[in-house]
Amino acid sequence: MNFKIPHHLAALALTFIFAAPIPVVAQTPAKQPADTQRAFSFIKKSDAMLQEQARVIFNQARKVFAAHPPSATPSDERLLAFYALDSLFHDTRLDKGEAFTEFMEDTAKRVAATLAGPKPASGLRIIRFYNHGFILQTPTVTIAIDIVRGGKRVITGIEEEPYLDLELMRPIIERCDALFVSHPHNDHADLRVAKLFIEAGKPVVAPPGLWTDVSPLITHPRAADATEPIDFTVALRSLKTPLAVRVYPGHQGKVPNNLYAITTPEGKTILHSGDQTGGGADLPKLLKIREQIRVDVFLPQCWMARLPLVVEGVAPALVLTGHENEMGHTIDHRESYWQCVRRVQKLSAPVILTAWGEHVDIP
């Protein structure tokens, strides 16, 4: 890998002033802030050192991403920042530590700040949340897909161990018009998040069998044994005309998994894969999608089996991958960014990798 090193250095100027001696007044040394003291000495404090080291790398990665924004041709600096995150996310000593918690909270705050700012004047904005969560934003609508707080057992609301406090989700949900859930696994489906949408009178679209007794605001557009795509609409308070959606019935193993093709009022169609396995009986259907609809943006999970073949069948104008480094998994199933970079090299469409909290504007 070739790294880009700046070739210019600031000039150093030395100015000597000869004058009469100036009396020196003794002063009491200022007390060093606790943070400064902590930053230089970690003798016999290896856990604290690892947390501080992680904090430094997380913050530096954010700076690199700001200087090298999402692109289909990422710079070496951006790739190195991704690989640095892989190293942190795969060190289980850091799981749920202060540094990781701060990084997750920063992700939520960045997403909330983006949503609180001006909407795109035209086209489509895709905001990356945690794991395989995305938020689609246009001048007229904002749609959340598979956004969760992270952690384990969040699907039931019992014995929760979330990475994000529910209050951090409120400003995000306040600016979303609906929630789509692909399948009933806890890294895609969060009951507490769904209830916040329902409490606000906003629709939730879910796969068959999920949360059937929660609220009539939850829509299950297809039966568990469905084999053909189904067209339906979702009424939103922000739109005069219902949102047009096509659901492709898929599976992760034997678990029903909805692939949502959402067409915005501006005419952009986004297909989210959920955790569609990619093979099996569903594959022939996926390979015909290009014959049925035009997909502007495909959002597949990075580890999908036969991903190049599926992308060819969908024929999107752009691919944004998701599901890198799901922290609820063991490290062998926390798919690395570097693994994703290898996989997408064979895709027939341009690909953009994103970090949590980033967004991409598409004309």
pLDDT of residue 279: 78
DSSP 3-state assignment of 87?
helix
Residue 82 belongs to domain with CATH number: 3.60.15.10
Nearest C-alpha neighbor of 342 from the set 351, 355, 331, 354: 351
Q: Which of 151-160, 193-202, 258-267 has the least mean pLDDT?
A: 151-160
Listed in order, strand segments (DSSP E) in 116-184 are 124-128, 134-137, 142-145, 151-152, 161-162, 178-180
In a domain, 82, yes or no: yes
HSE-up (13 A, CA, CB side) for residue 277: 13
Listed in order, strand segments (DSSP E) in 161-264 are 161-162, 178-180, 204-205, 218-219, 230-234, 243-252, 255-263
In a domain, 293, yes or no: yes
Q: How far apart are CA 175 and CA 169, in angstroms?
A: 10
Whether the predicted pLDDT of 14 surpasses 80: no
Q: Could you tell me the residue range of the domain that residue 276 belongs to? A: 52-362
Note the pLDDT tens digit of each residue in 194-205. 999 999 999 999
Query: What's the total number of domains in the chain?
Result: 1
Q: Is the pTM of this model over 0.85?
A: yes
In a domain, 26, yes or no: no
In a domain, 273, yes or no: yes
Note the pLDDT tens digit of each residue in 121-134. 999 999 999 999 99
More confident residue, 10 or 44: 44
Note the pLDDT tens digit of each residue in 55-64. 999 999 999 9
In a domain, 34, yes or no: no
In a domain, 347, yes or no: yes
pLDDT of residue 146: 98
In a domain, 250, yes or no: yes
In a domain, 292, yes or no: yes
Over residues 93-112, mean pLDDT: 96
